[in-house]
């Protein structure tokens, strides 16, 4: 064999070995992709814990039979939309992740955060912690997000691989179609974590109350959409591999105009400094000369709880965030407090924001898929425990959070041993 022939043979073997290596690496990558779990999480804003027992909702009832249902999902305080969606995503209480209300002033940024304002929701400086999609992306798991709070801001410089700017008018059916399409993408582009959001039954709950006829019709429609989604999911080649959760951020309490207090009728406007004022729950400050006057006056108002921020009960995990001002004010159950009388038409029959011990504020948790037991009844649990659950299902190393896996591990087919 000549020297040139040896070189040709050697080159052939090198190319062949490289080809075999590439083939096996591709095979292993495909196998790893196939073994990577799928998790789809749908949030139904304002879906109260007992709606399924109060109304006929067969698709959620079927999920309970085929998988897991919780007695309730306990929101973080305050029981508002933006704080709780971000608590579910990060496993942190609002005090720690920074979204302390739907609307608040951030002193370090010298900016107002306003729910629904594109500039606010897209500014990562408002959002602390590490949402689960960032945790997954950092560990090479593709994610997709459809309107979940925080997904428009590149927290820690990380965004979901696929995300959409919030569009309130996007039909719910179109959202279903997008999620199904994402699950049909090629392996190398397909997300394994999808989180998506629908703004009902919150809006109708405010207008019609938690027991209203229009609320009932909306709940029936939403339940039918869950049936549509699950039917489409079953048609996919990966359908049986997908873990599907339905959760909500908070419940809804029944109120009435005659049980409404108005801040501008309770205290002189000139007493007030910066105020983060929302329905049911407010965070108020006073001009220095009137701090004691404001506190003492509000303490005497019936149907209100008033705490200095440093005296908020420890169980609420609220009061230490630097963007909170002097007083935390919360209406009693079935009562409401608004800034002015002209806001009343927006909150005529239903409200949320109460103490999270109020069961009307509790939300839902349903889950089906290969990670979950069948027909399992889970005790009520705090929503900060969702992040560790998400991480366990996805097989990612979680960030340090307020929540823990221990209260929820029993619902999994193979519960993990909790590290002490």
SS3 49: coil
- Among residues 79, 81, 135, 143, the one annotated as catalytic is 81
Q: Are 380 and 362 in contact (CB under 8 A)?
A: yes
- Give me Rg for the CA atoms of the chain: 25
Instruction: From 204, 184, 203, 209, select the one nearest 194 (Cα to Cα).
Output: 184
> What does the DSSP 8-state code read for residue 212?
-
Three-class DSSP labels, 58-87: HHHHHHHHHCEEECCEECCCCCCHHHHHHH
The position carrying tokens 């049909």 is 184
Sign of CA dihedral 121, 336, 200, 86: positive
For the beta carbon of residue 333, count every other beta carbon within 10 angstroms: 18
> Is 155 an annotated catalytic residue?
no
Q: State whether residue 281 is helix, strand or coil.
A: strand
- 330 three-state secondary structure: strand
Catalytic residues: 81
């Amino acid at each position: 064999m000549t020297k040139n022939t040896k070189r040709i043979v050697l080159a052939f073997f090198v190319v062949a070995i490289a080809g075999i290596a590439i083939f096996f690496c591709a095979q292993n990558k495909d196998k790893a992709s196939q073994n990577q779990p799928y998790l789809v999480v749908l949030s139904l804003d304002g879906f109260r814990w007992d709606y399924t027992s109060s109304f006929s909702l067969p698709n959620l009832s079927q999920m309970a039979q085929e998988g897991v249902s919780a007695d309730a999902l306990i929101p973080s305080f305050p029981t508002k939309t933006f704080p709780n969606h971000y608590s579910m995503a990060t496993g942190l209480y609002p005090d720690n992740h920074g979204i302390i209300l739907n609307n608040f002033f951030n002193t370090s940024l010298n900016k107002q955060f306003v729910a629904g304002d594109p500039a606010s929701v897209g500014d990562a400086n408002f959002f602390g912690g590490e949402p689960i999609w960032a945790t997954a992306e950092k560990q090479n798991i593709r994610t997709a997000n459809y309107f979940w709070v925080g997904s428009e801001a590149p927290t820690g410089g990380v965004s979901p691989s696929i995300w959409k700017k919030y569009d309130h008018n996007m039909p719910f059916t179109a959202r279903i179609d997008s999620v199904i399409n994402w699950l049909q993408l090629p392996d190398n582009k397909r997300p394994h974590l999808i989180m998506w959001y629908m703004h009902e039954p919150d809006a109708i709950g405010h207008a019609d109350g938690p027991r209203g006829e229009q609320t009932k019709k909306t709940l029936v429609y939403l339940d039918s959409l869950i049936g549509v989604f699950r039917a489409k999911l079953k048609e996919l080649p990966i359908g049986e591999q997908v873990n599907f959760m339905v959760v909500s951020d908070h419940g809804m309490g029944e109120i009435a105009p005659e049980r409404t207090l108005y801040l501008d009728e309770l205290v002189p406007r000139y007493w007030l400094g910066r105020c983060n004022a929302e329905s049911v729950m407010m965070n108020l400050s006073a001009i220095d000369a009137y701090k004691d006057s404001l506190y003492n006056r509000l303490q005497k108002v019936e149907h209100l709880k008033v705490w200095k921020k440093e005296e908020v009960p420890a169980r609420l995990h609220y009061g230490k965030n630097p963007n909170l001002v002097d007083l935390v004010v919360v209406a009693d159950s079935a009562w409401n407090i608004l800034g002015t009388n002209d806001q009343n038409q927006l909150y005529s029959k239903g409200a949320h924001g109460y103490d999270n011990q109020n069961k009307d504020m509790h939300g839902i948790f349903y889950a089906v898929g290969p990670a979950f037991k069948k027909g399992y009844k889970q005790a009520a649990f705090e929503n900060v425990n969702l992040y560790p659950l998400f991480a366990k299902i996805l097989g990612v190393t979680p960030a340090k959070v307020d929540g823990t896996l221990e209260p929820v591990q029993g619902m999994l087919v193979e519960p993990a041993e909790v590290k002490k």
